[in-house]
């Protein structure tokens, strides 16, 4: 805990506040309006966080009694080492709270959760235009210079 920041697992009663952050996060990456994620995706994602049977986890950053940030991470097998690895899939802090340590604290807690699970590697992606986040990431990890390609296999997608 730093400056009244509490990083903790999301709890069932956090849904509405988490959903507000989740909506802002998705809007930041252009998923809003006609391109917004469906309610089904949001609800399924939330249910996965609450299930001990899934490797998908959610941390929230609380400060002054409010949720101000989130981190979603996934533990998974990989092909270049024996140990599992951790993918930090989503990281978001509300704009008014940026620069106050929330993002760093969320990342640090993901690192700690990975260590506790005997996982020795955490990785994540960000958009090349997200310079503010990249300044933080450059302080806590190494830029591998890899580019991510994605292909939708959904036949209904254009």
Estimate to the nearest angstrom the gap between the alpha carbon of 35 and the chain centroid. Answer: 20
Percent of the chain residues topping a pLDDT of 90: 77
pTM of the model: 0.91
Whether the pLDDT of residue 157 is over 60: the answer is no
List the structure tokens of 89: 């899939």
* Measured distance between the N- and C-terminal CA atoms of the chain, rounded to whole angstroms: 46
Domain positions in the chain are 5-140
- Cα 9 to Cα 51, 58, 78: the distances in Å are 12, 6, 25
Could you read off the pLDDT of 61-95 as tens digits, one per residue?
999 989 999 999 999 999 998 999 999 999 999 99
| Number of alpha carbons in the 13 Å side-chain half-sphere of residue 81 | 9
Residue 136: both structure tokens together: 């933080």
Query: Topology of 5-140 in CATH?
Result: Aminopeptidase (3.40.630)
Res 1 pLDDT > 80: no
Q: For 44, list phi and psi in degrees, rounded to 5.
A: -65, -45
d(CA 45, CA 144): 28
Q: How many CB atoms lie within 10 A of CB 119?
A: 18
The predicted-structure confidence for 14-37, as pLDDT tens digits, reads as follows 999 999 999 999 999 889 899 889
Closest CA to 37 of 49, 54, 23, 21: 23
């Amino acid at each position: 805990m730093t400056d009244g920041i509490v990083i903790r697992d999301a709890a069932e009663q956090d849904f509405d506040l988490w959903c507000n952050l989740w909506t802002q996060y998705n809007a930041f990456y252009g998923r809003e309006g006609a391109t917004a994620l469906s309610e089904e995706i949001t609800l399924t994602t939330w249910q996965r966080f609450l299930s001990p049977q899934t490797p998908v986890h959610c941390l929230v950053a609380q400060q002054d009694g409010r949720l101000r940030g989130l981190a979603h991470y996934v533990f998974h097998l990989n092909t270049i080492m024996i140990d599992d690895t951790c993918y930090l899939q989503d990281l978001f802090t509300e704009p008014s709270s940026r620069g106050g340590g929330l993002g760093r604290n969320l990342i640090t807690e993901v690192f700690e959760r990975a260590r506790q699970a005997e996982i020795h590697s955490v990785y994540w992606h960000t958009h090349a235009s997200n310079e503010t986040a990249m300044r933080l990431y450059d302080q806590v990890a190494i830029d591998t210079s890899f580019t991510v390609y994605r292909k939708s296999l959904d036949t209904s997608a254009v």
